[in-house]
Each structure stands twice: as structure tokens, then as C-alpha cells.
């Protein structure tokens, strides 16, 4: 039986209507309401970013994490990212204090350190975060080695960030780095996604959620 071909004009065009329909569909498709109130806006943004409601099953977090991250942004603290793609995905106009978004991946010193230490540029770039880390929001969406290195320098005495958004992606080290974050965060609030899934878009979406939906300590 022939199926009618819909007209290309028959699709939703109003941006506000699309926005509302998208988030309504997410709430219908995923049991977001089972999460603490403080975590729900971030979870919805992550699902909206990747189109996969089932990531909710792999979401791991400290309940106070989103509040800590929102408060850090409100206090003007920087956002440290592992990749330029994460930086590009953060909507700067959402940031409450024109917060600095810092990516050190392409610094000359990063290349030198990576070569001398026999490591990835992503890991070497984290060594240049030291002076910015205190109370910052960290968003890792690409490199597992960046997350591993972050945990190492914190254990070595580096300043502690307000929140770690640990969302690296890949088949080598991604799942392991996230489990290391959960096990070795040492009281630092975090949000992560167990398993191989992650990515720069998800990390940026998480930062945007913190900026758009500030929470309070009473949200739980």
C-alpha cells in the first residue's frame, strides 16, 4: 500500500512550541521525577542533548552537585573544559557573571608537557588548570585521560573545584575514568554518566543547565 508523503511544510516551526514539546516529551519518556529536584533540570538537559532517555539509568551524582555548580557560576568562578568543542557548546549569554571558560588544550606548554611526559595533550592540559581550580566548575566531555589526570593532581594537593562534570566518551578509558571519579572524588561534588557514553555536547549541556536552572540547598 502506498503511503502518503507528508508535505515538507507540515512540521512544527515555532521555536517556543518546539522547546515546550521537547521537554514535555522527555518528561513523558523518562522518569525524571524520581530524581532529586536539584538534579532534574540537568538530567532533562542531558537527555534533550542526546535524544536518549535511557541515559537516566546510568546517571551518577552527588545530590548537592548541581547546587554547588550553580553557586560557583553565580560567584563568578571559571569553567574549565577539556576540549574546544565543550567551550563552543556553552552558551555564554547564559553564564550569570560572564564567567571565563578556560581550555588549555592548545597552549604551547601543553604540547611540551605532553611530549616530555609521554602522555596525551588532554592530560597535560589539566596541569595548567592548577591556578584556576579553586571553586571552579570542571566540565570534561571528551578525554578520559583528562579526568584521570584531574583526579591525580587533586590527590597531589591541587585546589578543589566546586563541581566535576565527568562526561568523557569512548571505548578506551571512558567507563573506567568515570568509576574512578565516583570512587576517588573525596567529597568533591560530581555528576557523571556510567559507561562509554558521554561527549562534548553533553558536558556543555550540563554547564548550560547549571546556568539556566540555579538550585538552592533546599532542593532535594
Q: Residue 40, SS3?
A: helix
What are the residue numbers of the active site? 48
HEC per residue, 105-150: CCCHHHHHHHHHHCCCHHHHHHHHHHHHCCCCEEEECCCHHHHHHH
- Say which residues have a Cβ less than 8 Å from residue 128's Cβ, sequence separation at least 6: 104, 107, 109, 110
Angle at 120 between CA 58 and CA 112, to 5 degrees: 150
Q: Can you tell me the distance from the alpha carbon of 105 to that of 126, in angstroms, rounded to the nearest whole number?
A: 8
Amino acid at each position: 500500500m502506498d503511503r502518503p508523503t507528508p508535505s515538507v511544510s507540515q512540521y512544527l516551526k515555532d521555536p517556543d512550541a518546539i522547546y515546550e514539546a521537547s521537554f514535555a516529551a522527555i518528561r513523558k519518556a523518562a522518569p525524571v521525577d524520581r530524581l532529586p529536584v536539584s538534579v532534574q533540570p540537568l538530567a532533562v538537559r542531558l537527555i534533550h542533548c542526546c535524544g536518549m532517555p535511557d541515559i537516566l539509568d546510568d546517571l551518577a551524582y552527588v545530590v548537592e552537585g548541581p547546587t554547588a555548580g550553580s553557586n560557583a557560576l553565580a560567584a563568578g568562578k571559571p569553567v574549565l573544559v577539556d576540549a574546544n568543542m565543550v567551550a563552543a557548546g556553552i552558551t555564554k549569554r547564559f553564564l550569570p557573571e560572564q564567567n571565563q571558560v578556560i581550555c588549555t588544550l592548545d597552549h604551547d606548554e601543553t604540547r611540551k608537557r605532553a611530549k616530555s611526559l609521554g602522555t596525551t595533550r588532554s592530560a597535560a592540559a589539566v596541569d595548567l588548570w592548577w591556578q584556576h581550580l579553586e571553586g571552579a566548575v570542571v566540565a570534561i566531555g571528551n578525554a578520559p585521560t583528562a579526568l584521570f589526570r584531574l583526579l591525580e593532581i587533586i590527590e597531589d594537593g591541587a585546589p578543589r573545584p566546586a563541581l566535576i562534570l565527568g562526561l568523557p566518551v569512548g571505548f578506551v578509558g571512558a567507563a573506567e575514568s568515570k568509576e574512578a571519579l565516583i570512587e576517588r572524588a573525596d567529597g568533591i561534588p560530581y555528576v557523571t554518566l556510567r559507561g562509554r557514553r558521554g561527549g562534548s555536547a553533553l558536558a556543555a549541556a550540563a554547564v548550560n543547565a547549571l546556568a539556566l536552572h540555579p538550585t538552592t540547598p533546599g532542593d532535594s
